[in-house]
Amino acid sequence: MTDNRAQINILNKLITDNDTFLLTSHQDPDGDSIGSLIGLNNYLKRLGKKTMVYSQGIIPSKYVFLDSEGVIKSEAPKTSSDFPVAIILECPRFERIGFVKNLIGPQTLIVNIDHHEDNEMYGRVNIVDKDACAVGQILFDIFNSAGGSFDADVAGPLYAALISDTGCFKFSNTTSRCLNTAAVLVEKGARPKSIAENIFSSFTAATLKMVGYVLQNMRLYADGKICVFKLAKNDPAKFGASMENSEGLIDYSMMIKGVEVGVLLKEVDSKTVKVSLRSRDGIDIGSFAGKRGGGGHLNASGFTLAENLDSAEPTVVIALSEYLNV
């Protein structure tokens, strides 16, 4: 566990001394970023603070329950405000917050809270714990350090952050610290059954049809060690689904016996493909993605490729085969 006590003390003083906070995370939010944003927002509200929460990109439907009041805004405000403090969650590079960059002025103090290996430490305050299973876990530690009490409206979103980034406690980042944190969050009111059902068992029929289509057309390479899924820009609409419903689709690749690296290629346009990666055990696909302008974690990462969907497949497969020496 990284010793962030000095930085956490600075953050706690900032919270005490300031009344208004801008909260954001990386564009195209996921379960950890959404749960962490809502948990932090609710915590600050309990302290009587004012917050504005922005995140570029649509919230995937399975996480909408976390933000039932529409706290997170996905579009830039028509008028800008001066924020004394901006807290950026789960974002290794400042550029990845998208349009929210324009809401941060030269006098805004940036607090960077993250658990990515490749975080660029761009904040005036940097609370980066690479051993944490999720940013939700780091926030739990921060709230406890301040002696602040919280209940279900904070515990629930933080629990959702934990199970999202650990695959419901299946991934290698599921540590005893993670499980102990989850236990305390349940004691404080988080509802494991309800949260897990919303995130992992609430697919629409349209989404499942799309998943079935992708699985039916998967390809295996390198004697079954590399699995590739592809999703063209117009594919989801064929089933009444949308591209945001593909969040988590890549995890199906890790259910196949013998697969060491899973790849999901999602077409953004005719010249751009988003590449999502998953791997087993000690295979570091975070470094693989980092060398290509992306990043992430040891077993979960991604990057963007300036190619069309058809040419992206051999490009990624050849590069991965060389990287894995298979």
Say whether both 43 and 176 belong to one domain. yes
Residue 147's pLDDT is 86
CA distances from 306 to 51, 228, 293, 310 (A): 37, 18, 11, 12
Phi-psi region of 222 (alpha: psi -120 to 50; beta: other; left: phi over 0): left
Of 173, 200, 227, which marks where a domain is finished?
A: 200
Q: What is the pLDDT of residues 63-103, one digit of tens each?
A: 999 999 999 999 988 777 789 999 999 999 999 999 999 99
- What's residue 149's pLDDT? 80
- What is the pLDDT averaged over residues 163-191? 96
Which domain range does residue 246 map to?
A: 205-324
Tell me how many domains the chain contains.
2
pLDDT greater than 90 at residue 148: no
27 shares its domain with 127: yes
Q: Which residues 6+ apart lie within 8 Å of 133 measured at CB?
A: 115, 162, 165, 166, 173, 174, 175, 177, 178
305 & 160 share domain: no
Q: How buried is residue 161: exposed, middle or buried, by Cβ count under 10 Å (0-12/13-18/19+)?
A: buried
- 168 and 233 assigned to the same domain: no
Burial tier of 94 (Cβ tally within 10 Å: 0-12, 13-18, 19+): middle
Distances (CA, A) of 210 to 18, 132, 205, 324: 47, 33, 9, 30
- Which of 200, 228, 247 terminates a domain? The answer is 200
Query: What pLDDT shows up at residue 295?
Result: 86
Average pLDDT for residues 130-137, to the nearest whole number?
97
Least confident of 186-190, 286-290, 314-318: 286-290
> How confident is residue 1, by pLDDT bands cut at 50, 70 and 90?
low
Residue ending a domain, among 161, 181, 200, is: 200
> Do 17 and 86 have their domain in common?
yes
pLDDT band at 296 (very low <50, low <70, confident <90, very high): confident
CA 318 – CA 226 distance, rounded (Å):
10
Q: Are 137 and 174 within one domain?
A: yes
Higher pLDDT pick, 79 / 150: 150
39 with 132, same domain: the answer is yes
Q: Do 182 and 312 belong to one domain?
A: no
- Average pLDDT for the chain: 95
Question: What's the whole-number mean pLDDT along residues 294-323?
Answer: 95
pTM: 0.92
Quick check: 140 pLDDT over 80? yes
Q: Do 29 and 141 belong to one domain?
A: yes
**CATH value at residue 141:** 3.90.1640.10
Q: Rounded mean pLDDT of 247-270?
A: 96
Same structural domain for residues 12 and 134? Answer: yes
**Mind listing the pLDDT tens digit for each residue in 117-129?**
889 999 999 999 9
- CATH for 241: 3.10.310.30
| pLDDT at site 44 | 97
How do residues 45-57 score in pLDDT, each as one tens digit? 999 999 999 999 9
Q: Do 189 and 231 reside in the same domain of the chain?
A: no
Low-confidence winner among 4-8, 34-38, 108-112, 147-151 (lowest mean pLDDT) = 147-151
Q: Verify that 192 and 240 share a domain, yes or no.
A: no
